Amino acid sequence: MVIDVSDQTFESEVIKSSLPVLLDLWAPWCGPCRMVAPVIESLEAKYDGKVKFCRLNVDENPQTAAKYRIMSIPTLMFFKNGEAADTVIGAVPERVLQPKLDALL
């Protein structure tokens, strides 16, 4: 299950997570964001229990988006031990994301 996070829950869900996190920064009006959603859901099933999957609506949560200087969406950020470890901008296929997730494990 992909967890919706907000500016208020970002620290507890992402930064303090005991698992590595893939954070999808998106907005409902963004076409490429909708294209990448099924890819993330597929990966979530494959990495169940190993990686936490979260998403943050940048329109509703501008503080977190500003903190990480998000200029384009979708932006996929990879966190390990509370630190941003990698970033991918744009709708990309699963084969691009899988090695990045494996590197977190």
Residues serving a catalytic function are 30, 33
DSSP H/E element including 57: strand 52-57
Residues 6+ apart with CB under 8 A from 42: 94
Q: CB of 21 within 8 A of CB of 54?
A: yes
Q: CB of 99 within 8 A of CB of 105?
A: no
